[in-house]
Amino acid sequence: MTVQEAIALAGELGFTHAHELNTGKLEFLQEVRKMCEENRCGKYGRSWSCPPGCGTLEELEKKAGKYARGIIVQSTGQMEDDFDVETMQETERLQKERFFAFAERMREREPDCFPMAAGSCTLCESCAYPNPCRFPEKQMPSMEACGLFVSKICEDSGAGYYYGPQTITFTCCVLW
């Protein structure tokens, strides 16, 4: 699948923005991974999509290193003010819904592709971790769990990350 085809698919599925990812600039950073260990989201050690269940940084870096193509896909919401939690949640929901569909379509064309989401897997109401994952073929780690500094990936790829005052943007990517 070409990057242009993937960008067209992202547009079809409703993402606000889609941009080629510069795979040559990917850096898997311990400091990002350490933020997961601080467990501010409460998912550390509680999901197969998060550390340590998603694999070591070295394993993820090795896996990602074999891909030549990548795409960044984003959903941006316009908030009424800085405390517009409703828009934040709705934009996150839309991004998850779109990305789940996008990853499915990408896997049909590129079965070995590597989708990385925004945040922990929410396919099940409660993650089975540490018991076996219920949908190992569908679950995916978050970009942060892989040690990726999302705003830097966007910058290095020439993609946007900040889209103006009182906007909220969720970012995911796929490598293939």
Of these, 110, 123, 160, 163, which contacts ligand SF4 (CB under 6 A)?
123
The stretch near ligand SF4 (CB under 6 A) out of 30-38, 77-85, 102-110, 127-135 is: 127-135
61-120 residues near ligand SF4, rule: CB under 6 A: none
| b/e map 111-148, b = 16+ CB within 10 Å | eebbbbbbbbbeeeeebebeeebeeeeebbbbbbbbbb
The stretch near ligand SF4 (CB under 6 A) out of 13-21, 121-129, 144-152, 154-162 is: 121-129
Total binding residues toward ligand SF4, as defined by CB under 6 A: 13
Is 8 a binding residue for ligand SF4 by CB under 6 A? The answer is: no
Write the DSSP symbol of residue 114.
E
Shortest separation between residue 44's beta carbon and ligand SF4, angstroms:
14
Q: Which is nearer to ligand SF4, 10 or 117 (CB)?
A: 117
Is 50 a binding residue for ligand SF4 by CB under 6 A? The answer is: no
CA distances from 138 to 82, 86, 122, 133 (A): 34, 27, 11, 10
Tell me how long the chain is: 176
Euclidean distance between CA atoms 61 and 65, whole angstroms: 6
Cβ contacts of residue 38 below 8 Å, gap of 6+? 44
Q: Which is nearer to ligand SF4, 1 or 123 (CB)?
A: 123
Shortest separation between residue 50's beta carbon and ligand SF4, angstroms:
9
Shortest separation between residue 51's beta carbon and ligand SF4, angstroms:
13
Is 47 a binding residue for ligand SF4 by CB under 6 A? The answer is: yes
Is 169 a binding residue for ligand SF4 by CB under 6 A? The answer is: no
Q: Which is nearer to ligand SF4, 132 or 164 (CB)?
A: 132
| DSSP letter string, 2-59 | -HHHHHHHHHHTT-SEEEE--GGG----HHHHHHHHTTSSS-TTS-TTSTTTT--HHH
